[in-house]
Amino acid sequence: MDRTVQPSPEMQQSVAAVEQIVGYDFRNKRLLEEALTHSSYSESPSYQRLEFVGDAALGLALSNYFFLAYPGVEPGTLSLLRSANVSTEKLARVAVRHGLYCHLRHNAPALQDKVREFTEAVTGEDETPLVYRGSVRAPKVLADMVESVAAAVYVDLNFDLEKLWMKFRRLLEPIVTLEEVQGQPQPVTMLFELCQKHGKHVDIKHWRDEAKSIASVYVDGVFVASGSSEQKEIAKLDAAKIALLKLSKSLGVSGRSTEFIAGIDGKFQIEEAKQKLHELCDKKKWPKPIYTIEKDEGPSHEKRFVSSVKIATADGVLCITGDERSRIKDADNSAASSMICALQESGYI
């Protein structure tokens, strides 16, 4: 018989608790200890390598599940189903719902504050699957933790994917289904529908910048917004949501096309927005916003300017353009107004 590898003494209680949550008794309990250790805790190996494996293993397990559950469904829809079930929003809620977050070992007080804020926001939510982002942005650490625990199970099972799915599926319930994905408005679909209705052409371009996937939305060849994430589909969704915000404003659209603009009263021009955005970035410890003149046209007495603003958050880079203005200062302020609204809508503030 294989000899059981015990965890370190200080992690015995947490390892035993998570074994109970998962419903699996580890042979190598040090794997689970590693899965519960954040990189800020330097005295022990962190979960980063396991997260790498868990991300791929859960993605493949869900791909197999949806491939069998929905014969005949197009690959693009299957990809959306998988993305909805392994998104940061979904997996972070798994960590909260099952109490996994209580057992994260770290030395990062700021991280604890983010986890507490998110936990308080989602506690008491019903179990209706959330396909897209909620009102408070989910801390990536919670999703990483779930992926790492899944990887620990997978490795301890000698990389048996079927057994991993049998053990771990219960934690992922309720699984986001095809009906739920189709029932909740999809930002990319809404963007294309909105532009088609107004006779405009949409193009979403992708590229990678080191570990990040970047998606940029162009309408009639003009840049509108961009988003970035480690996952291509999430970057695309973020860019589409910000573009919807911008276009809904400029086209004067209300109703279904602005469902994602939570907490915004329709007054898109924010007084002293540039200064407020600067203060927000300073408070969040993000780099200063970067402004770029995207359009500079007209004779000297009738100049028209359009500015864009780019900010680097902890999760990726967001970029959005403002409205046309007669002065650069006003164009920058318009871009800052749009960015503040986009940050509200995306749950950053």
Residue type, 58: L
β-pairing verdict for 304-312 and 212-219:
unpaired
Q: Which helix (DSSP H) or strand (DSSP E) does residue 101 occupy?
A: none
Average pLDDT estimate for 74-81 = 85
Q: Topology of domain 272-346, per CATH?
A: Double Stranded RNA Binding Domain (3.30.160)
Percent of the chain at pLDDT exceeding 90: 37
Q: Topology of domain 187-251, per CATH?
A: Double Stranded RNA Binding Domain (3.30.160)
Least confident segment among 49-63, 107-121, 248-262, 323-337: 248-262
Q: What is the reported pLDDT for 2?
A: 54
Q: Are 6 and 29 in contact (CB under 8 A)?
A: yes
Residue type, 146: V
**Cα of 325 vs its chain's centroid, Å:** 32
Percent of the chain at pLDDT exceeding 70: 86
Q: What is the reported pLDDT for 261?
A: 33
Cβ count within 10 A of residue 143: 23
* 207-216 pLDDT per residue, tens: 787 667 888 8
Q: What is the reported pLDDT for 263?
A: 29
User: Any alpha helices (H) in the chain, and if so which ranges?
Assistant: 12-22, 29-35, 48-69, 75-86, 88-97, 109-122, 140-156, 161-172, 178-183, 187-197, 232-250, 273-284, 328-345
**Cα of 115 vs its chain's centroid, Å:** 15
Average pLDDT estimate for 143-157 = 97
The three-class DSSP label of residue 97 is: helix
Q: What is the reported pLDDT for 257?
A: 37
Q: What is the reported pLDDT for 266?
A: 36
Q: What is the reported pLDDT for 300?
A: 83
* 89-147 pLDDT per residue, tens: 899 999 999 999 999 999 988 888 888 888 888 876 666 555 555 546 788 899 999 99
User: Could you tell me where in the chain the CATH 3.30.160.20 domains are found?
Assistant: 187-251, 272-346
User: Could you tell me where in the chain the CATH 1.10.1520.10 domains are found?
Assistant: 11-183
Average pLDDT estimate for 149-167 = 97
Spatial distance between the Cα atoms of 131 and 147, rounded to a whole number of angstroms: 18
Band the pLDDT of 254: cuts 50, 70, 90: very low
pLDDT for 310 beyond 80: yes
Spatial distance between the Cα atoms of 152 and 10, rounded to a whole number of angstroms: 19
Higher pLDDT, 96 or 254: 96
Band the pLDDT of 167: cuts 50, 70, 90: very high
Highest averaged pLDDT of the listed ranges 165-169, 230-234, 246-250: 165-169
Highest averaged pLDDT of the listed ranges 11-15, 197-201, 217-221, 300-304: 11-15
Q: Are 342 and 318 in contact (CB under 8 A)?
A: yes
Q: Which two tokens stand for residue 215?
A: 């998606």
Closest CA to 332 of 324, 178, 205: 324
Q: What is the reported pLDDT for 47?
A: 96
DSSP 215-277: EEEEETTEEEEEEEESSHHHHHHHHHHHHHHHHHHHTT--SGGGTT-TT--S----TTHHHHH
Residue type, 106: H
Residue type, 122: V
Q: What is the reported pLDDT for 345?
A: 62
pTM of the predicted model, to two decimals? 0.63
Q: Which two tokens stand for residue 121?
A: 């926001």
Band the pLDDT of 264: cuts 50, 70, 90: very low
Spatial distance between the Cα atoms of 12 and 214, rounded to a whole number of angstroms: 41
List Cβ neighbours of 332 (8 Å cut-off, separation of 6 or more): 274, 291, 307, 309, 322
The domain 11-183 is placed in CATH, from the list 3.55.30.10, 1.10.3720.10, 1.10.287.3510, 1.10.1520.10, at 1.10.1520.10
Spatial distance between the Cα atoms of 93 and 95, rounded to a whole number of angstroms: 5
